[in-house]
């Protein structure tokens, strides 16, 4: 009796060991390099002009507070977030003093949502607009570590502390090579404010967004905070051509370019037999544009025959429009078969609003991914299971062993019952 019990325990242990060994084979989990938590600092303009009541019937300050509260609720746990103000404390007319008016409202670190919201609630539109000094201090707040670092600047006016040009400050921050990105948002901006905030963002590879409604402000700040938690991918600047023959040949990666209104841009990608091309494109309206526009991404042969396309339409309520496509190149029995050159065409139908400059072109972000594609009807990946043969095998073998074990235990229990 005792011997049979020990045998049963031994079989159970063997079964568990086999299942664990198959499901998690040695070396299957790669060691990941430890990276510091991403850091974000929201830099908010609290100057006197934030009293203006032109955002959905309320003040710009009220819209900013509401957006901050909702963003704080949704901030990912892994993000270390801080808040800095500019123009929040000095009420006098001394320009020298006003240009020192930047303060850390909430330190960059693990987020206590209650404390952060309480700090935001105390803000009241007050003084000057020292954008340059605030950016310098914000860069210091984010100093150190290997994780993503991002400044999100929200302002409704130009810097009032020249000659410390905030564009020059942003370029100096970029020149340090510390991987810090500055994204800017303009609240109901005029042309000069838009130009300055765009210049700041461009200097560090960031983005600029016009904001005229509360939901736009909330959504965009939330997107930028979430983006800090994404893996860091450094985009590569490229320049598309006006036709495929002259287009640059791109490999897997993230690329940036600028496309003028109504312009076509061409790029080339080499796809080997058995590979799959995945491409996506996003075009941002970093200035005032007319509503109702679209973006088209086409894959065509070098002879002009369309292979596949992706397209999307926008109404003007978002600042970015995106689309994508997939093209699996079939396997060939000829091992020496050459790669196929696929031409990618990006076309957009944005139109500039009255009085808006059309140059430089609109920011364009192109993602290229060339991967091993489906290898026929027997490829598990073709059915959405990925290339996880070992996992499928583990499940089948685990079920088989479980069945054997259950059958053996059932027979053993019957024999014991008969003996007793």
What tens digit of pLDDT does each residue of 280-296 get? 998 887 777 888 888 99
Report percent pLDDT > 90 for the chain.
Answer: 45
For residue 396, pLDDT over 70 is answered with no
Neighbours of 251 (CB within 10 A): 11
What tens digit of pLDDT does each residue of 181-233 get? 999 999 998 889 998 998 998 888 888 888 999 999 999 999 899 888 876 66
Domains assigned to the chain: 39-228 (3.40.50.410), 236-372 (2.60.120.380)
For residue 235, pLDDT over 80 is answered with no
Residue 414: predicted pLDDT: 58
Q: How far apart are the first and last CA of the chain?
A: 10
Residues 261 and 263: their CA atoms lie apart, in Å, by 5
For residue 6, pLDDT over 90 is answered with no
- 189 versus 25: the higher-pLDDT residue is 189
Average confidence score pLDDT of the chain = 82
133's CB contacts (< 8 A; 6+ apart) are 86, 99, 100, 102, 161, 164
| CA-to-CA dists, residue 269 to 169, 219, 326, 344, 370, angstroms | 38, 34, 13, 8, 9
For residue 16, pLDDT over 70 is answered with no
What tens digit of pLDDT does each residue of 155-178 get? 999 998 878 899 999 999 888 877
Minimum mean pLDDT range among 279-283, 343-347, 383-387, 392-396: 383-387
For residue 355, pLDDT over 50 is answered with yes
For residue 374, pLDDT over 60 is answered with no
pLDDT band of 179, cuts 50, 70, 90 = confident
For residue 376, pLDDT over 70 is answered with no
Residues 387 and 391: their CA atoms lie apart, in Å, by 9
Residues 214 and 191: their CA atoms lie apart, in Å, by 21
Average pLDDT over residues 44-63: 94
Report percent pLDDT > 70 for the chain.
Answer: 78
Q: Do 345 and 272 contact (CB within 8 A), yes or no?
A: no
The pair of structure tokens assigned to 39 is 């850091």
pLDDT band of 343, cuts 50, 70, 90 = very high
Phi, psi of 37 (to 5 degrees): -65, 145
Residues 252 and 256: their CA atoms lie apart, in Å, by 13
Q: At what angle do helices 2-23 and 389-419 cross, to 10 degrees?
A: 170
What tens digit of pLDDT does each residue of 109-123 get? 999 999 999 999 999
Residue 334: predicted pLDDT: 59
The pair of structure tokens assigned to 237 is 């600047």
């Amino acid at each position: 009796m005792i011997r049979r019990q020990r045998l049963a325990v031994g079989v159970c242990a063997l079964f568990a060991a086999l299942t664990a060994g198959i499901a998690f084979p040695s070396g299957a989990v790669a060691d990941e390099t430890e990276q510091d938590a991403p850091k974000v600092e929201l830099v908010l303009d609290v100057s006197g002009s934030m009293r203006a009541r032109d955002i959905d019937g309320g003040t710009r300050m009220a819209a900013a507070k509401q957006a901050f509260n909702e963003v704080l609720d949704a901030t990912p746990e892994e993000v270390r977030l801080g808040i800095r103000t500019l123009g929040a404390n000095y009420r006098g007319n001394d320009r020298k003093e006003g240009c020192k008016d930047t303060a850390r409202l909430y330190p960059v670190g693990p987020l206590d949502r209650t404390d952060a919201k309480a700090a935001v609630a105390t803000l009241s539109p007050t003084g000057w607009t020292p954008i340059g000094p605030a950016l310098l201090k914000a860069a210091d707040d984010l100093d150190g570590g290997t994780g993503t670092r991002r400044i999100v600047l929200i302002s409704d006016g130009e810097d009032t502390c020249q000659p410390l040009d905030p564009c020059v400050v942003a370029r100096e921050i970029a020149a340090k090579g510390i991987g810090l990105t500055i994204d800017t948002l303009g609240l109901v901006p005029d042309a000069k404010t838009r130009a300055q905030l765009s210049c700041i963002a461009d200097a560090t590879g960031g983005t600029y967004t016009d904001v005229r409604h509360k939901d736009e402000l909330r959504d965009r700040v939330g997107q930028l905070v979430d983006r800090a938690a994404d893996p860091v991918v450094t985009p590569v600047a490229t320049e598309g051509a006006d036709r495929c023959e002259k287009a640059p040949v791109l490999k897997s990666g993230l690329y940036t370019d600028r496309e003028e209104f109504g312009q076509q841009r061409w790029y080339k990608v080499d796809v080997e037999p058995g590979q799959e091309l995945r491409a996506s494109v996003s075009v941002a309206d970093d200035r005032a544009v007319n509503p109702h526009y679209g973006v088209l991404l086409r894959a065509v042969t070098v002879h002009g025959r369309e292979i596949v396309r992706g397209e999307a339409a926008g109404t003007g309520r978002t600042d970015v429009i995106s689309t994508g496509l997939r093209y699996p190149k079939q396997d060939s029995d000829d091992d020496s078969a050459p790669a196929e050159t696929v031409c990618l065409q990006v076309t957009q139908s944005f139109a500039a609003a009255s009085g808006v400059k059309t140059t430089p072109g609109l920011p364009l972000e192109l993602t290229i991914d060339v991967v091993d594609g489906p290898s026929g009807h027997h490829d598990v990946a073709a059915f959405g299971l990925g290339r996880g043969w070992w996992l499928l095998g583990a499940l089948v073998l685990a079920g088989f062993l479980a069945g054997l074990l259950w059958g053996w235990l059932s027979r053993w229990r019957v024999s014991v019952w008969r003996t007793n």
